[in-house]
Protein backbone atom coordinates (compact mmCIF):
# COMPACT_ATOMS: atom_id res chain seq x y z
CA UNK A 1 0.00 0.00 0.00
CA UNK A 2 1.35 3.42 -0.93
CA UNK A 3 0.23 6.61 0.71
CA UNK A 4 -0.74 9.95 -0.82
CA UNK A 5 0.13 13.06 1.16
CA UNK A 6 -1.06 16.51 0.19
CA UNK A 7 0.28 19.71 1.65
CA UNK A 8 -3.07 21.49 1.78
CA UNK A 9 -1.38 24.75 2.82
CA UNK A 10 0.52 24.70 -0.43
CA UNK A 11 -2.27 23.48 -2.72
CA UNK A 12 -3.73 26.27 -4.83
CA UNK A 13 -6.59 24.26 -6.30
CA UNK A 14 -5.33 24.20 -9.87
CA UNK A 15 -6.92 20.82 -10.38
CA UNK A 16 -4.23 19.40 -12.63
CA UNK A 17 -3.90 16.42 -10.33
CA UNK A 18 -7.59 15.71 -10.77
CA UNK A 19 -7.21 15.82 -14.54
CA UNK A 20 -4.31 13.40 -14.35
CA UNK A 21 -5.90 10.91 -11.94
CA UNK A 22 -9.57 11.61 -11.15
CA UNK A 23 -9.91 8.30 -9.33
CA UNK A 24 -7.58 9.65 -6.62
CA UNK A 25 -7.87 13.44 -6.62
CA UNK A 26 -11.03 15.49 -6.73
CA UNK A 27 -11.81 19.17 -6.34
CA UNK A 28 -14.99 19.76 -4.39
CA UNK A 29 -17.55 22.43 -5.22
CA UNK A 30 -15.52 25.03 -3.32
CA UNK A 31 -12.38 24.22 -5.28
CA UNK A 32 -10.80 22.43 -2.33
CA UNK A 33 -8.84 19.32 -3.08
CA UNK A 34 -10.25 16.11 -1.67
CA UNK A 35 -8.43 12.81 -1.67
CA UNK A 36 -10.74 10.04 -2.79
CA UNK A 37 -8.06 7.55 -1.84
CA UNK A 38 -5.30 8.20 0.67
CA UNK A 39 -3.98 4.68 0.88
CA UNK A 40 -3.59 3.37 -2.59
CA UNK A 41 -2.88 -0.12 -3.86
CA UNK A 42 0.39 -0.48 -5.73
CA UNK A 43 -1.40 -0.75 -9.08
CA UNK A 44 -2.61 2.83 -8.67
CA UNK A 45 0.76 4.21 -7.64
CA UNK A 46 1.74 5.24 -11.17
CA UNK A 47 -1.54 7.15 -11.46
CA UNK A 48 -1.00 8.87 -8.13
CA UNK A 49 2.53 9.82 -9.19
CA UNK A 50 1.23 11.23 -12.47
CA UNK A 51 -0.97 13.56 -10.42
CA UNK A 52 1.94 14.55 -8.21
CA UNK A 53 4.15 15.28 -11.23
CA UNK A 54 1.76 17.75 -12.81
CA UNK A 55 1.11 19.72 -9.63
CA UNK A 56 2.59 23.18 -10.28
CA UNK A 57 3.33 23.79 -6.60
CA UNK A 58 4.61 20.30 -5.76
CA UNK A 59 2.01 19.80 -3.04
CA UNK A 60 1.66 16.04 -3.49
CA UNK A 61 3.97 13.38 -2.16
CA UNK A 62 3.65 9.65 -2.57
CA UNK A 63 5.23 7.54 0.12
CA UNK A 64 5.42 3.87 0.99
S1 LIG B 1 -2.44 20.08 -8.88
FE2 LIG B 1 -1.49 20.65 -6.92
S3 LIG B 1 -2.21 22.72 -6.53
FE4 LIG B 1 -3.56 21.80 -8.05
S5 LIG B 1 -5.26 20.89 -6.91
FE6 LIG B 1 -3.74 19.32 -7.23
S7 LIG B 1 -2.46 19.40 -5.37
FE8 LIG B 1 -3.58 21.30 -5.48
- With left for phi above 0 and alpha for psi between -120 and 50, is residue 16 left, alpha or beta? alpha
> pLDDT digit string (tens) for 4-54?
999 999 999 989 999 999 999 999 999 999 999 999 999 999 999 999 999
Under CATH, which number does the domain 2-63 receive? Answer: 3.30.70.20
Confirm if 8 and 17 have CB atoms less than 8 A apart.
no
- The alpha carbon of 53 and the centre of ligand 1 are apart by a number of angstroms equal to 10
Q: What is the dihedral of CA 43, 49, 54, 55, to 10 degrees?
A: 120
Diameter of the chain measured on Cα atoms: 30
- The alpha carbon of 12 and the centre of ligand 1 are apart by a number of angstroms equal to 6
What pTM does this model have?
0.94
Amino acid sequence: MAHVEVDFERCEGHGLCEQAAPEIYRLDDDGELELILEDIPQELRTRAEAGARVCPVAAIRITG
